[in-house]
Structure 1
Amino acid sequence: MTQNLDKLPIESFKRVTIDSSQAEKISKPSMSFWQDAWLRIRKNKAAIVSMVILVLIIIMAFVGPFLSPHEADTQTITHANLPPKVQGFENLGFLDGVGTLGGKEVNLYEMKKVDTYYWFGTDGLGRDLFSRLWEGTQISLFIAFVAAAIDMVIGVIYGGVSAYYGGRVDDIMQRIVEILYGIPNLVVVILMILVMDPGIMAIIIAITLTGWIGMSRIVRGQVLKYKNQEFVLAARTLGASNNRIIGKHLLPNILAIIIINTMFTIPGAIFFEAFLSFIGLGLQPPAASLGTLINDGYKLMQFQPHILLFPSLVISLLMIAFNLLGDGLRDALDPKMKD
């Protein structure tokens, strides 16, 4: 081995010097937590597609009623139960106004001498389903977002106070939660709606009566996890007040789990509102929501399937998109949860 080394010329060896100022230089710019989460969620195609679908549905919920030439509440009995008809599709074999009457396919627009277009058809009272669908979607989304926001606020405050102060405070607050959790949710909701006048406010209150319990339990677990860690103990040792510890140290660390849980709460509220309206305990006619529209379409499913098709399609897209987006946010904001 020594003989082989002796034969190597000195020119084969080169001294390598490293500038100490460049030794620990970061080659890429540093990213914040939210920037890193955005890069992760961009790689999730299902979450991005769901986000686009949700944005389009929300935009249509507000813009859709103004696109149609027909008012949502205008009743024209002579235009009742018309199938969908879109200008320019008459010769393509669909959305051409052809429906079934007496077992035969006929052009109902020509038979009833209707010279206007109803893009999603009409219901039994001759109301435009396109306008009613987007107005109903608007109401359902409003109820869901307000209920989810109230659930988030109450759940975060209740769970955070219970876990942070602990001891007897935690025992009393958790016994209250256990009592509420033991009562069937549907029974509480039905009783509240029967006591109050049916409407948007009654549904929101009914959904939020016990909807915050799940959020409070999650927040309580997270606060119990973080409140005795070193950074919180250090802040307390330096004289930080309870409000500062909660606002500056605990909330930022549990914010991701709050957002994720809220994203799963919204589709649950949409479905629950639709369920209440479907069984007749939600909004009352002539008000429209996805639940009331599905209830109207269910009664005529065999003869006028278009009345059921469009609201069912919208609520299905909302449920799937919110859940897929929630999964994507969970993986992006808290990658450890994926394991």
Structure 2
Amino acid sequence: MRNEFEHEQLPQEEFERITIDSDQAERIEKPSLSFWQDAWLRLRKNKAAVVSVVVLLLFLILALIGPHLNGHAGDAQNLRHANLPPKIPGIEKMGIFDGVGNLAGKKVDLYEMKKVDEYYWFGTDGLGRDLFTRLWLGTQVSLFIAFVAAAIDMVIGVAYGGISGYYGGRTDDIMQRIVEILIGIPTLVVVILMIMIMDPGIMAIIIAISITGWIGMSRIVRAQTLKYKSQEFVLASRTLGSKDGKIITKHLLPNMLGIIIINTMFTIPNAIFFEAFLSFIGIGLQAPDASLGTLINDGYKVMEHQPYMLLFPALVISILMIAFNLIGDGLRDALDPKMKD
């Protein structure tokens, strides 16, 4: 009995034979990507890291041009303009940043009362200095200290850890005993001693942070060097007569570059926070120099009556810390070959 749902046979002319040239059979249509191109594509998929990069670039630009935007010098004092609240043109009509502050428990327009016809976007301190200008000058100083300290930590840490791990033996034993001694001394004690010996300032803080800051980097680089120096490509290079310097610079460092960059990105926010901490407790930068730490210290003293003095530098340092950490997380995922989509 024929099946009523029997399929109809398709006509032969509906089929066409497709032939592929043997030269094109194994052609790869998708372009090959280098390690860094592949890492960049993975980083772009991390929205938090991309937003953090944009925010960080914005803050870097503001740190450079911010002190010149409103026409007020960061060290110019005018006691008649002291303790003015924030006032921003245009936004003042919305009822915020309108120059209204507390005076004897009442809300009054301090600009009108003091007959000030200028705008101070973030207000002024007790000496009449513009806080907007001082905030970006302080951000500039804090970022400079952090970047320089991180660069010094990276150079010393990579060199120390690379030599220790590559040569091994007695050299490694002696170098690691030195590291263990430095780890046993609290970092804050070393920093305080160095600042007491040297005059307080930017250079003293950079040197103090760099004394023990490189230890973490050196231990990571040493571990990576021990891992890679026994690999086949290093053995092949040594067999071909390559010298130690070439093996380290041409074979070991490129393979460790990703983790070095990641560790450096986490070192920068630590340096920013440490500088702010030193300035906050009074052993960092000294007046009239400004940094995020000194501005937070000044704002903390008058937090009850003038909270805006603490608000803006605290926001900036918080955003910087979060941005650097998110970028570091994004780089760690992007540069790790095991983190595939």
What TM-score bracket applies, with the shorter chain setting the length? over 0.9
**CA root-mean-square deviation:** 1.8
Distance 1:8 1:76 in 2: 94
Matches within 5 A, 1:252-331: 252-331=254-333
Within 5 A, what are the aligned runs for 1:21-36?
Answer: 21-36=23-38
User: Which of 231, 241, 245 does residue 229 from structure 1 map onto?
Assistant: 231
Match runs of 1:50-199 below 5 Å = 50-199=52-201
Q: Distance in 1 between matches of 2:113 and 2:338?
A: 63
Letter in 1 for 2:185: I
**One-letter code aligned to 1:68:** N
What residue identity is the alignment partner of 1:56?
L
3-state secondary structure, aligned to 1:318: helix
Of 243, 246, 271 in structure 2, the residue corresponding to residue 244 of structure 1 is: 246
Return closer, same or farther for 1:8/1:144 CA change in 2, 3 Å cut-off.
Answer: closer
TM-score, normalised on structure 2? 0.94
Tell me the alpha carbon deviations over residues 124-175 of structure 1, each in whole angstroms, 9 at most, x when there is no partner: 1100001000000000000000000000000000000000001110011001
Q: Alpha-carbon deviation of 1:23?
A: 2.4
- Distance in 2 (CA, whole Å) between partners of 1:91 and 1:58 is 30
Q: For the residues of structure 2 that align with 1:12 and 1:110, how far apart are their CA atoms?
A: 88
Q: Distance in 2 between matches of 1:336 and 1:291?
A: 39
CA distance, structure 2, for counterparts of residue 22 and residue 56 of structure 1: 48
Aligned with 1:336: secondary structure? coil
Residue in structure 1 matched with residue 5 of structure 2 by the alignment: none
CA positional deviation for 1:19: 2.8
- Aligned partner of residue 20 in structure 1, secondary structure: coil
In structure 2, how many angstroms separate the alpha carbons of the residues matched to 1:102 and 1:132? 28
Q: How far apart, CA to CA, are the structure 1 residues paired with 2:46 and 2:142?
A: 27
One-letter code aligned to 1:301: M
Deviation, structure 1 residue 31: 1.1
Q: Which residue does 1:3 correspond to in 2?
A: none
The count of residues paired between Structure 1 and Structure 2 equals 333
CA distance in structure 2 between the partners assigned to 1:44 and 1:337 by the alignment? 12
Q: 1:161 to 1:338 in 2, by over 3 A?
A: farther
Task: Using the TM superposition, give the Cα deviation of residue 18 of structure 1 relative to its aligned residue in structure 2, in angstroms.
Answer: 4.0
Q: 1:216 — aligned with what?
A: 218
TM-score using structure 1 length = 0.95
